[in-house]
Amino acid sequence: MAELPRRGYERFAGIPTEFASTSTPAWRSQTRARAGAPNVIVMLVDDLGFSDLGPFGSEIPTPHIDELAGGGWVFTNYRTAPMCSPARAALMTGLNPHRAGFGFVAHTDPGYPGFACELPEDAPTLAESLRAGGYATFMVGKWHLTVESRLHDAADRSSWPLQRGFDHYFGSMDGFTSLHHPHRLVRDNSVVHIPEFPNGYFLTDELTEEALMMIDELRVNDTDTPFFLYYAHTSVHGPIQAKPADIASHRGRYEAGWNALREARFARQRELGIVPEHARLPDDSISDGNLIPAWDTLSAAERALFANHMEVYAAAVTEIDESVGRLVARLDQLGELDNTIIVLASDNGGSAEGGQNGTRSYFAQFGISAALPDDWVRDVPRDPAEIGGPRLFSQYPTGWARVSNTPFRSFKSTTYEGGVHAPLIVSWPAAPGGVPGLRDQFVYVSDLAPTLLDLAGVSPLAERAGRAAQEVDGRSVGALLRDRHAPGRAAQHFECMGRRSMLDRGWKALSPVPPTPATGAAGGDWELYDLTNDPTETQDLAAANPELVARLAGRWVAEAWLNTVFPIDDDGTLHKTRPESERVLGAPVTLPPFRPPLERFRAAQLTVLRSFSIEIDVVLTQTTAGVVVAHGDQGGGYLLAIDAGAPLLSYNAYGDMHRVRGIALTHGRHQCELRFTEIDGMRWRVVLSSGDAVLAELPEVPMLLGMAPFTGISVGYDYGGPVDWDLHAQHRSYRFTGGTIERVRYVPGARSPHDPVVLREITETVAALAD
């Protein structure tokens, strides 16, 4: 009898017959990491300055980090990207930031490969390679590698953490969040619905607990598989927040002021060998002295307020150190500490976004693209004792940011050393042939992934999504753990919002402003620094070395073309252009009650820089009470509630509360409209009406702009951080009861003339390419 055709056995290694008694089974081999492979933990801190940790000269006690550094490697010449998403993309892929699709933070996709805000399909991540090499892969914290238009619940998740190599994820997909009341948390691929946060909730603690739980769950089921944990802190990014006890532990520490603290940190850095003896602390004339008043010129009230800001920042650093301590203690308990590689770094330099005076109204100035009126209040006065707590969204003043970046000039988002020179600590007690200590070789963020794969003995994936993997830009610096004289890298280009720099063998050419088409990409004003002899950029040598400047500027252009850096945003329009496909996010939407909030960016398309209305159908009874709709939090927002039988309209203007109560409503069905109409001065007039009757009105309130309202729209309760703290104190989330919310529908109206966004038809680009 002829043998029948077979299908499905082509790759089967056993022998199949028609009966089990005469067949031979076989199983697919499982990928296992090599014997003795180390665990890998990468802890990335957000907006941490170069000098904010004890091993880098800080007065902030960081005993757990100090212990890691004391037995490990402290890298004093580590550089990163000037902003967070670019640094994270380079860390994950080993590519330079623009090649990884992140020339800017993950807010816009203006239609160019270097700014797509999506990791390339053919760029395997560190997590993907380690998982293919037999590792369990976990992540907690800030992702910020998904363009914000794809963060909503119906979005394509191809650029979410699980789709980029992680087995488990818990954290905030956005660039930051409130630590007391996170605006949105995601577990794996789904939003976590927490109708009401318990008193004392604090995100840093939960992230640490989630990380420990992931490790514990692995070890309960598998004692051998090594793990990769990427712990990306949301702290110390603004709004800067901390727990009361930690804030109290720093009271009085900063009464001497930012001038004295900067000098003290610099002195400690010299003692520790973090900076060379010949380094000079840049004076006010070149280190933003025009933005930073001398401490002794401030009033007593100003000194107290500004010191309070820094006490909160120090508390946030303390909490990061505590998270390190908890992880180390658990690894020690498991007997795995010695064979765990721990990398701790910052994503960029400290941030000056708080401005000269700091702010207790973070969203009144953060992320706003429109020009603000002269009478705009950037810091709503409130009790300084509330700074760092759940009622304030604050950011420390520029003077403290300069302290954070000691001894360097400038801040996050610039290509001066203060924007890109960051702390890096590596610990691995069981490192073969390890020679711990200081290392002053140049290491760049894109070197981290190749280094960790090298140390783990895992080959990077050769392909992804059916395509050959891109060649990485980073190189392993693993030899530095064994040899204090091993070479670092020689050169690296930098770019952020048209600010350019090129570092090559100790010489750094830098242009702090974008060039123009008339000057060309290599044109504009350039500065030149000899970092070997002047690591803090105090002497501009450009005038004496025009040929060297021209060579480095030309090298920068060549590197830019090799790394998809172009186009430069020469006229400020690059990030104001978005794809027409985002238009659907601004379409009218009906929201069901008691569900998780509508995601932040999706909600913003309905309300920010435009007039809009909310159509509301409710059925009221004698016992009806609670929130009908809420949008925002203590950083800014609005809500409508039925309270004591009447509508209550609360409007939080970045901390300045406006409230109006309407007339009592009869029992039964009501059709209402809450209208937000733009008026002059970037204000809204807010009117609640039913038919022709005006029920309540706020004649004039500042519009909520930029990333406010930050917490999305919730119907039937006030999710997370409350819009109206007094109402929250009485009723918590104030869930709507005793009636029925039949319909809440958002209807966007006219866009503001101040809105700079241009939606480009995708077909326009296709047609242009075809011509």
The 10 Å Cβ neighbour count of residue 276 is 14
Count of helix runs (H) and strand runs (E) in the chain: 14, 31
Residue ranges of the alpha helices (H) in 94-185? 126-132
Q: Which two tokens stand for residue 279?
A: 């380094």
Residue 68's alpha-carbon distances to 328, 420, 722, in angstroms, are 9, 23, 39
Spatial separation of the C-alpha atoms in residues 407 and 281, rounded to whole Å: 6
Q: What share of the chain is helix, strand, coil (3-state, %, to 5)?
A: 25, 25, 50
Half-sphere exposure of 250 (CA within 13 A, CB side): 25
Query: What single string gives the DSSP state of each residue in 175-238?
Result: S---SSS-S-EEETTEEE--SSPPTT--HHHHHHHHHHHHHHHHHHH-SS--EEEEEE--TTSS
3-state secondary structure 325-368: HHHHHHHHHHCCCCCEEEEEEECCCCCCCCCCCCECEHHHCCCC
Omega before 38 within 30 of 0, i.e. cis: no
Say which residues have a Cβ less than 8 Å from residue 663's Cβ, sequence separation at least 6.
646, 695
Q: Is 117 a catalytic residue?
A: no
Structure tokens at 436: 């711990």
| List 144, 181, 233, 493, catalytic entry | 144
Look-up of token digits 């603000």: 372
Q: How far is CA 83 from the centre of its chain?
A: 9
Q: How far is CA 20 from CA 1, 3, 5, 10, in A?
A: 21, 18, 19, 18
C-alpha distances (whole Å) from 550 to each of 59, 62, 493, 521 are 42, 44, 15, 12
> 401-415 burial string, b = 16+ CB within 10 Å, else e?
bbbbbbbbbbbbbbb
**448: CB partners within 8 A, 6+ apart:** 42, 91, 94, 126, 343, 345, 474
Whether 84 is catalytic is yes
Specify the length of the chain in residues. Answer: 771
First to last CA, the chain: 64
Of these residues, 84, 117, 496, 672, which one is catalytic?
84
Angle, helices 448-456/84-93, rounded to nearest 10 degrees? 30
CA dist 724 and 641 (Å) reads 11
- Distance, in Å, from the CA atom of 279 to the CA atom of 533, rounded to the nearest integer, reads 8
Residues annotated as part of the active site:
84, 144
